[in-house]
Structure formats: C-alpha cells, structure tokens
C-alpha cells in the first residue's frame, strides 16, 4: 500500500480510503466490521464517514455509520488510523439532524463535531469536512449556476473561525471541504491566510471517467494551493462496472434506490459507459479495474475513496486499485472522454 501526504497536513494516508456510507443501511455492523478489518489488514489506514450516513439518509438510521465505525475503533491502535467525517450542509430538509434547520454557523458546527465524536467514540477527528457548501452553487448533477437561487448563508470566514476553535481545542486536527467549486476553495484559502486560520488540506468531490470536471476547474487551484483531491463515486455509482447496461442486479444501489440515479440519467451516459467497458475488455481488464486505475493514476489524488456493499466487492476493488495503466490506454481513455465529455457532471 502506498501512503501519501494529505495537502499541507502532517497526515500520511493510504492511497485508498474506505468509504462507509452503506454501513447501517445496506451493510450491518458485522458487515462493516468485516470490511474495516480486511481493509486495515491490506494497509488501508484512512476511513471516511459523515454525520448524515448511511444513505439514503433517514431519521431511523442517521448516525449509524459513525456508530459502526466507532464500535470497530474500540481496541484498535487509534494513532495508526486517520478518521474523517463530515458535517451536513444546509439546503435540504433533514429535521432529524441536529433538530434542524441546518446551518454552518458556530453553534451547528460545534454541535455536529460533539455528536460525531460521541458516535465515533474518539477524542479527536483527523479530518473534518464540510459535506457541501452553505451557499447557492450547482452540485449533485446540477451543472449551471443560478443566481436567482441565492439564499442567506454563514460567511466562509465565520465557518473557518468556528472550525479553528475546535482545532485549537484538539477536537479536530485538520479541515477539508467536499462538493466544492474553485470560488469556494479560494475563499477558504484567502480567509485562512488573512486571518491566521487553518488551511483546508483536501477537497472531496465526485471524480470518475464520466465526470472529469475537476480537471477543468479545480486541478490548478489544488495544485497551487497544495490541496489534495479525495475522489468519491469513482465507479460512477456502479455504472462504470457495466452492471447497469443489461439486467442490473436486484441488490444494486440504483435498483434499490433509483432516486440516486438522476446524475447518471443523461442520454450520453450509456454510450460513454459502453465505450469504456469495451476498452477495458480489449485490454484484458474488468471495467472496474479500468475505472479505478484511471483515478489512481492522477497526480492530484490524495486518496481514492472506495466503498462496497460486500466483502467480495471490496476485495475486488482493492485489487483493481493496484493496476497501472500505460500511456496508450490513457490516450484511448482521453479519446473517449473527448467524444463523451463529462456526461455526468
């Protein structure tokens, strides 16, 4: 397992991060512990969760993911693990989280951190991330900024000041962002530099063969500001495995929860997937191997977030992450990308 420095932090994280958003919904506590055990044995030291997990988020299950991770952490060498979690942003009606309405002000950030620490059963969180911005911006499949959707939100310097207090208290070690855009990342950087506050060390955004928007917008920002990408949805919600091309499995996530499919419902997704699947098979790879190896090959990636709904799937994905693509395959990938550019932004 390769280890990489996360942004400007002192964190050394495995090149693969275990995503846990299915723990407590599609995966039981025993399932989750089995995945965590196997990943740890393979050298994975980085675990990512969120206060709203599992998904789809419901009052009955919210927080179960952190509790499952927390019960596994008991008796483990905490100092050898990097635990990340996230605070839920506003803009969605989730009254069961912190009593609602959600915000990213000082009181909400502090309450969210305290709740996560309690569920995780730990004294500190290594990487604390804002799950999505407080302000109006396109995300989760939206691709056009709409000024008419403006709404009040906590200013970014105030969000960072609240997080800085918790860093000073030792409750969180480093700060990260998620589902962010260049303007937001730079506002956090400017506030940190101007006010002497913690710099963000990572941004967790969707990145895969169907969504390479990061390369056009955030890659330069993150390179120059030394911020690592933590890519999620690297298999395009399973589409890049090819399993949705014909007879999708009954237990597949989009079969069980079709509402998650909006991002991948555009007409150009299917032909793009077909092209990548055909490319993988021409080179003797599974489609998942091609998709994971592509993400792992990018120099701006700090750690690739891999989630699974079964131990067998996790084993397959971890093995696929070790595949190295040669320049000819990467060139063929770019040819397909230019034909089907970002069909699922």
Q: What proportion of the chain, given as a percentage, has pLDDT over 70?
A: 98
Determine the average pLDDT of the residues in 26-48: 97
| Res. 256 pLDDT band, cuts 50 70 90 | low
Q: What is the pLDDT of residue 334?
A: 98
d(CA 309, CA 343): 25
Instruction: Evaluate whether residue 335 is within a structural domain.
Output: no
How far is the C-alpha of 88 from the C-alpha of 51, rounded, in Å? 7
Instruction: Give a yes or no: residue 103 inside a domain.
Output: yes
258 pLDDT above the threshold of 80: no
What string of DSSP letters covers 201-263?
Answer: EEEE-B-BTTB-HHHHHTHHHHHHHT-EE--B-TTTTTGGGTTTSSS--TTSHHHH-GGGGGG
Residue 286 resides in a domain: no
Interatomic CA distance for residues 207 and 253, integer angstroms: 18
Would you say residue 12 lies in a domain?
yes
- The Cα–Cα gap between 37 and 337 comes to 37
Beta-bridged to residue 27, according to DSSP, are 23
Q: Is the pLDDT of residue 33 over 90?
A: yes
SS3 139: coil
- CATH number of the domain that residue 82 is part of: 3.20.20.100
pLDDT digits (tens, 9 = 90+) for 164-223: 999 999 999 999 999 999 999 999 999 999 999 999 999 999 999 999 999 998 999 999
Distance CA 272, CA 280 (A): 12
Q: What is the pLDDT of residues 306-332, one digit of tens each?
A: 999 999 999 999 988 888 999 999 999
Q: Between 170 and 251, name the one with better pLDDT.
A: 170
And the tokens for 167?
Answer: 């860093």
Phi, psi dihedral angles at 172 (to 5 degrees): -130, 150
In this structure, is residue 21 part of a structural domain?
A: yes
Long-range contacts of 242-248 (CB under 8 A, 24+ apart): 242/273, 242/277, 242/287, 244/273, 245/270, 245/273, 245/274, 245/277
Q: Cα 194 vs. chain centroid, distance in angstroms?
A: 28
Classify residue 319: in a domain, yes or no: yes
Predicted confidence at residue 247, as pLDDT, reads 77
Residue 254 maps to a domain: no
pLDDT at 151 (0 to 100):
86
Domain of 169, in residue numbers: 3-235+294-323
Domain count, the chain: 1
Strands annotated E in 82-199? 82-87, 125-130, 172-178
More confident residue, 266 or 300: 300
In a domain, 50, yes or no: yes
Per-residue pLDDT of 129-161, as tens digits, reads 999 998 988 888 788 888 998 888 999 999 999
Residue 302's SS3 state is: coil
Taking all residues of the chain, what is their mean pLDDT, rounded to a whole number? 94
Please state the pTM of the whole predicted model: 0.95
Residues designated catalytic: 53
Q: By the 8 A CB rule, do 235 and 209 touch?
A: no
């Amino acid at each position: 397992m390769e280890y990489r420095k996360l942004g400007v932090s002192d964190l050394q994280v495995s090149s693969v991060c275990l995503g846990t958003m299915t723990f407590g919904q599609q995966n039981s506590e025993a399932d989750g512990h089995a995945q965590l055990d196997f990943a740890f044995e393979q050298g994975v030291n980085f675990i990512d969760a969120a206060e709203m997990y599992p998904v789809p988020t419901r009052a009955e299950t919210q927080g179960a993911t952190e509790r499952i991770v927390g019960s596994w952490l008991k008796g483990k060498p905490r100092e050898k693990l990097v635990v990340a979690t996230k605070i839920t942003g506003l803009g969605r009606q989730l009254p069961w989280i912190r009593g609602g309405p959600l915000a990213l002000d000082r009181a909400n950030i502090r309450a969210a951190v305290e709740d996560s620490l309690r569920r995780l059963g730990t004294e500190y969180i290594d990487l604390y991330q804002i799950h999505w911005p407080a302000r109006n911006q396109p995300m989760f499949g939206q691709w056009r900024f709409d000024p008419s959707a403006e709404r009040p939100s906590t200013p970014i310097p105030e969000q960072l000041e609240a997080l800085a207090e918790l860093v000073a208290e030792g409750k969180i070690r480093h700060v990260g962002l998620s589902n962010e855009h260049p303007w937001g990342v730079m506002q956090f950087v400017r506030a940190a530099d101007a006010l002497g506050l913690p710099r963000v060390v990572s941004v967790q955004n969707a990145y895969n063969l169907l969504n390479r928007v990061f390369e056009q917008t955030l890659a330069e920002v993150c390179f120059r500001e030394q911020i690592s990408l933590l890519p999620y949805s690297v298999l395009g919600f399973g589409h890049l495995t090819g399993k949705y091309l014909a007879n999708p499995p009954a237990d597949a996530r989009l079969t069980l929860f079709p509402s998650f499919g909006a991002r991948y419902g555009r007409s150009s997704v299917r032909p793009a997937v077909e092209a990548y699947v055909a490319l993988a098979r021409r080179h003797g790879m599974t489609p998942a191997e091609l998709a994971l190896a592509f993400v792992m090959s990018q120099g701006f990636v700090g750690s690739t977030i891999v989630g699974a709904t079964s131990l067998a799937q996790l084993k397959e994905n971890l093995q696929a992450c070790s595949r190295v693509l040669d320049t000819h395959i990467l060139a063929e990938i770019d040819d397909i990308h230019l034909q089907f550019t970002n069909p699922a932004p």
